[in-house]
Amino acid sequence: MDDVLVCKSGELGDGAVRIVYHGQHEVAVIRHGSRYYAYANICPHQGGPACEGIRVPQVVDVIGTDGEFLGQQYDETDIHIVCPWHGYEFHLETGVHAGDEKLKLRKYNVVEREGAVYVSI
């Protein structure tokens, strides 16, 4: 595996995505908070640019004690990557599809060292 330079530390803003190319690989590096995540920028559904879509918190149904549906709210601790082609959602933390664990984005390791961010491809 090669460590490919993504950017200088702090250069990528919170919520930003940087696409890195290395040979046949197209990898999206996403910064969320103080962490970096990297995935192949290919949706397993139909090959769309999965990581170029929006990122949204998980939507959670709120159910009352009597079983009544009270509405919905966001779970800010579970951010999803939404593929812009057909809306397939993947957990940012794992790359696994929100509704079908068999579908997942290929994950890459990201390291920060000597003032720079690298992805291992």
**Residue 105, domain CATH:** 2.102.10.10
Distant-in-sequence, close-in-space partners of 6: CB < 8 Å, separation ≥ 6? 12, 18, 20, 29, 36, 110, 116, 117, 118, 119
pTM, two decimal places: 0.88
Domain count, the chain: 1
1 residue type, one letter: M
The pLDDT value given to residue 1: 76
Tokens 């794992």, residue located: 94
Mind listing the pLDDT tens digit for each residue in 15-66?
999 999 999 999 999 999 999 999 999 999 999 999 999 999 999 999 999 9
Domain residues for the domain of 14 are 3-120
